[in-house]
Each structure stands twice: as C-alpha cells, then as structure tokens.
Chains A and B, each alone.
Chain A
Amino acid sequence: MTLLLELAFAHIRGRARQTLVAGLGVALGVGFSIAMAALMQGSQDDFVRQLVDSMPHVEITDELRAPAPQPADAAYDAVAYSGLRTSEDLRGILNPTAVMAALEAWVPGTVAPGLRSRALARNAGREAGISILGVEPDREVRVSSVAGDFVFGSFAELAAGGNNVVVGDGLGTLLGAQYGDTIELVASTGQVRSFRISGVFHTGVTARDEGEVYLSLTNAQILAGRPDAVNDIRIRLDDPAAAPGVALRAEALIGYKAVSWQEANEAILEALNVRNVIMYTVVAAILLVAGFGIFNIVSTITFEKSRDIAILKSLGFASADMRRLFLVEGLFIGALGSVLGWAVGYGLCLALGFIRIDIPELGDATSLPLTWSVWHYAISSALAITSAAVAGYLPARRAAALNPVDIIRGAT
C-alpha cells in the first residue's frame, strides 16, 4: 500500500499547481459549509433556547389524550363513535396535591401547579380578553421565564397576600393602567373582583404581554369559582432534552395529557430539520462541484500517465491496483482540501464572530449566533471525501480498464 501511495504522490507532485487549485476548490466548499453550518446551528440553537426558556418543558393539563371509552364500545363490537371529544372537566386535575407529590418524587426539576382560566380585564371603560394563570409564586419563579422579564415588581408580590395581579406592559397600555393602579377582572362566571397591579413584565412576545395575567393560585381559584382546582402543572427540567421521556412517564403515571416542549413545537422542530436537510443538500452540491476539479486532475493524470499504467500492468500490477492508485489520488486531493477547508471554515467563523448587529429597536448590539461543533467539520469533510472518492473513482475505473497492449504498441 505504501508503494501505491508513493506512486500516487509522485503523480500529484507532478501536477502540484493544479492539485492546489482543486484542493482550494474543496477547501472553499468545506470552509463555507463549516461557516454556514455554524451559523445555521447557531441561529437554531438560539431559537430553540428561547423557545425552551419561554415555555414549560413539560406541561400537564386536565385533558385526556383520548376520549373516555364508551360503555357501548365495550359491549358491542359493531358500535363505533365518531366526533367524540374529551370533555373539559371543571374539577381540573383530580386530587392535585397527590399528583404534585407523585411528580415531585422523581421529576429532575421543578414542578409548579397552576389554574388557567379565561377572563376579561377592565379599566376606565376599556376591556381586554385575557388568560389568567393562578400560580404559587415561589415555585413559579423557578419554572417561568417571565420571572426574568419583570419591569416592575416580581412574582413575590403575589405571595404577599391581598388582591395583587401581575400583568404585561402591553395590557397596561391597552387598559391605560400603570404599576400600582387597580383594575377589574371579570371571570367567565360573571364574578368581578378588583386587583392592584403589583408587577409588570415585558417578554417581547406581544400575545403574552397583552394577554397574560398572573394571580396567586388561591385568588385565581376564588375568581374562577373553582376552589382547590388545578388544571395546569408545568415542569421545568434541569435538562430540557429529557422532556419527552419525563412527559411519557408522567402521563403514564397520572393519566392526564403531558406534553413536552418538543411535542408542542413539533412543526417548528420539523421545519428546522427541513432547514438542515436543505443546508446539507446545498453543501453536498457545492462539494460535488468541487469534485469536478478533482475529476479533472485525476482524469488528466490518467491520460498523461497511460504509459506508466501500461508498464505497471506489464510488471504485474492488476487492474484493481490501478483503480486503487487513482482513487487514492482523488482521495488525497479531497483530504488535502478538507484540511485546508477546516482552516478556512475556522477563519470564517472567527470573522463572522466579529460582526455586530446593531438594530436599535431590538436593544443592545448582538453578534451573530454561531455554534462550534466538531460535527460540522466532520460532516463537511465526509461529504468532501465522498465527492473526492466519486471524482477519483470514475477516471480510476477508466485507468484500470486500459489495455496495456494498446498503449505499448502505440508507443514510439
């Protein structure tokens, strides 16, 4: 094998400049792939991180995944129902205290109970439809991303007792109410109560800032007329990636529907996957083009060295040896290009890291989201090497098929 390597190297050395050009073609392909992958992955990670931060990792509601089995179903085979829907159980999650305890026993993270209900917020003749979430403040702080988004006050204000409410700044604007003002909340039961705005948050998500309101769990239960009810248990895990497993186990354990953030965002995650597939398709196309350069050189060498091929065969080298020889030459150029490409990719990522994006509306200047991963290097190299193998194999096959007699006869 070292003999074949020496032969291959001798051929390539004779075409040093062309080899370098083809290698650079591969290097640029690999380099840009790495930079592109870093950017794509960076923005994806950024996006997913925000997604994961802004919502519970697992959310258990008082819904059931499938409608309850109907008595007639069990009794008669021929009976079939269509259009069945799960009923909303006004009692919420049954026996919430026991359920909470059961979850906390093993869930690696924080579990927070809540009661979600629809209501109307009123102030000075203005109205807005809102979603009320009754929470236990000390747990909520550890589960909700809103905890970090307070402009005034905090969740702790809800724990202080009394009629306190936490609203988004958007709702405040809609109602013309400010921190410290008192607004009225009208429950779907018709019950009206007044609450003092003791916290204001700004998440940046308009739907939340304008439509989400936090009360203490007790106040929310009283307002909704559902004492002791809990219909929304949220879990924040130490490791967000573990969410599907936890959701599965929780659902099996307590029977209610438990949705991981991955399941809730299936469509988005699917779209991200499609984006990655598209990216790697483009990368493969770029490297295929780079492969043409390799094909070109190896092809040239096989023509230029057909006499050497003939003599090597006459000495006792087999066709397979010749195929291997030129395949090695293609692979060598691909590998050379790959290694150069790593440097190019690394350099590009460094350069991209210096770029500042300064959009005043979005606040502080940020740099481009870049994720470094050895996989980007490995995948683009693997694609480059594959492309090089194909590009080398085609002329190698031709070289292997050369009939030495034709060449030796033709030599003068």
Chain B
Amino acid sequence: MTALIEARNLVRTLPATVPVTLVRDVSLSVEPGEFVALTGPSGSGKSSLLYLLGLLDRPTSGSLSIAGHETGDLDERDRSRLRLSTIGFVFQFHFLLPEFTVRENIEIPMRRLGRLSRPAMRRRAGELLESLGLAGQFDKRPDQLSGGQRQRVAVARALANDPPLILADEPTGSLDSKNSLQVFDILRGLSRDEGKTIVAVTHDLDLAARMDRKLDLVDGRLVADTATAGVAVT
C-alpha cells in the first residue's frame, strides 16, 4: 500500500533578520488508516508541521506527497483543490461560520467541491451530524451549541467531502475531559471503522497512548517515532 503522507526532509524557516526555523528536516511516512499522535512541548513546531502536511503552508525545502500527489509543483489553486477533496482540518477552535446553521456549515465544503447533488449533500450532512450525536441540532446556529457540540460539528465539517486524511490540531484542547473523550472516541472510530488516516496534535499523553503511533517533536525536530497500543509501525 502506498503511503498517504510521504514527507522527505521538510524544513520550514520564517525569513527574517534572524530566521526562525519552525520545522527542521522532518521525514515521515504515514500509511492509510493510521491514527497518529503528534506530541511535543509547546512551541516545538507541532502546529507548523501540521500546516505543512495540510498544504496550508509551503515548506522552505524538502518534498511532500499527499495521497500520491507530489505537492511541490502544485500552484495555489491545485493545492486548494487537493485540500478540498483529500484533507479535513480540525482545529482547537471550531471556526464555524456564525451566520450559517450547523447543516449549512457542513454543506459548505461539499458545495465548493460540487461532487454531490444538493439533496445528496443535505442527506450526507444529516447523516454525519447524526453519527456524531448531533441529531436535532441541524438548524441551530453555532452560538446555540455547547463547546463539545461545536467541536463535533467541526469534525463533521472536516468529514464532509469524505477525505482520506484528517489533520487535527489539539482538537480537544479547549474541551473538558468528558467532551474530550467523546471527540477522541469519534476520531478513534473514524480511524478504526472507516479507515481514515488521522494525525492529531495532542498534549494529553494518555490519549496519545491510545493511538496507533506517536511522533515526538522537539525544537522542530522529529526525535521519536514509536508504535503504541501494540499496533506495528510500518
């Protein structure tokens, strides 16, 4: 099976009088279906690496291929297109559009992609919300939901176009332990039952221990790559 993420010697340096290097020479390969924890001290470059993997940012050097697409040569438009169909982002904050209902928020990426008919989009949004325990919340606006519910809507939105890859940056960082567990279980299930590849930044080592694999970043460098929970690293 070909790797979903294939990063070789990724470097990200911010140009400045004193250049800041956020990511140093990171090489890694993630297979489809893996549930990967990205851990490390605050400021170690976890988010920066995730932005590179999610095509939100461009590496200063190194190469990256996502789902078989070499991304170095892609222009902004193609990168957006690849992100739209292949990658789902979940951030620490939900970032839902406040003017739109829960369902409309989830339909936005689907409409941008335009692969389904409008009724099919509507159906899919409903199914996603139901599967995430949000039945009955379809027509509410984000500010009418609790923090945990909003984050689950954000997960649903990340899943809208059925991307093979989910990138999550401290998805439970702003939630209490009960809601954290709930969102974690959802991600766990997506990986196990639907074969989604998930890379999640987390500070919670207990959660990290329950994933398949743990990557440790220190000062922008990948210092450890360990299999956890008895799942072999390929």
Contact = CB atoms under 8 A, between A and B. Distances in A.
Interface of A: 3, 7, 10-11, 13-14, 307-308, 310-321, 404-405, 408-409, 411-412
Contacts of A7: 97
Interface string B74-93: 00110011011101010101
Given A314-B54, A314-B91, A316-B84, 9 more contacts: A10-B99, A310-B95, A311-B95, A315-B108, A316-B80, A316-B87, A317-B80, A317-B84, A321-B112
Interface string B24-60: 0000000000000000000000010001001011000
B112 A317 contact: yes
A7 B109 CA distance: 12
Given A315-B89, A408-B91, A13 B99 contact: yes
Contact of A10 (B47, B97, B109, B157): B97
B100 A10 contact: yes
A310 B83 CA distance: 13
Nearest to B77: A318
Contact of B109 (A13, A310, A316): A316
A412 B111 CA distance: 28
A322 to B, nearest CB: 10
Interface in B4-42: none
B112 A320 contact: no
Contact of A314 (B76, B77, B89, B99): B89
B84 A405 contact: no
B108 A318 contact: no
Contacts of B100: 10
B108 A404 contact: no
Interface of B: 47, 51, 54, 56-57, 76-77, 80-81, 83-85, 87, 89, 91, 93, 95, 97, 99-100, 108-109, 111-113, 157, 161
A316 B77 contact: no
A308 B57 contact: no
Contacts of B109: 315-316
Given A405-B56, A408-B91, A409-B47, A316 B112 contact: yes
A24 B214 CA distance: 59
28 contacts: A3-B111, A3-B112, A10-B99, A11-B99, A14-B99, A311-B95, A314-B54, A314-B56, A314-B83, A314-B89, A314-B91, A315-B108, A315-B157, A316-B81, A316-B112, A317-B80, A318-B76, A318-B77, A319-B76, A319-B77, A321-B80, A321-B112, A404-B56, A405-B57, A408-B51, A408-B91, A408-B95, A409-B47
- Is the contact region of chain B dominated by helix, strand, or loop, or is it mixed? helix
B108 A313 contact: no
Nearest to B83: A316
A313 B81 CA distance: 10
Contact of A315 (B77, B84, B93): B84
B93 A316 contact: no
B61 to A, nearest CB: 17
Contacts of A319: 76-77, 80
B97 A313 contact: no
Contact of A3 (B77, B91, B108, B161): B108
Contacts of B93: 411-412
B114 to A, nearest CB: 9
Contacts of A307: 95
A1 to B, nearest CB: 10
Nearest to B158: A315
A310 B56 CA distance: 10
Contacts of B108: 3, 312, 315
Nearest to A9: B99
Contacts of A405: 51, 56-57
A149 B89 CA distance: 86
A13 B56 CA distance: 29
Given A405-B51, A405-B57, A315 B99 contact: no
A116 to B, nearest CB: 75
Kindly name the residue among B80, B83, B113 whose own CB sees the greatest number of chain A CB atoms within 10 A.
B80
A309 to B, nearest CB: 11
A385 B77 CA distance: 28
Contacts of A321: 80, 112
Contact of B112 (A310, A315, A408): A315
Contacts of B51: 405, 408
A362 B87 CA distance: 80
A54 to B, nearest CB: 64
Contacts of B97: 7, 10, 308, 311
A307 B99 CA distance: 13
Nearest to A310: B95
Contacts of A320: 77
B174 to A, nearest CB: 10
A409 B111 CA distance: 26
A318 B81 contact: yes
A314 B109 CA distance: 10
A312 B108 CA distance: 9
A346 B148 CA distance: 55
Nearest to B82: A316
A315 B80 CA distance: 8
B207 to A, nearest CB: 22
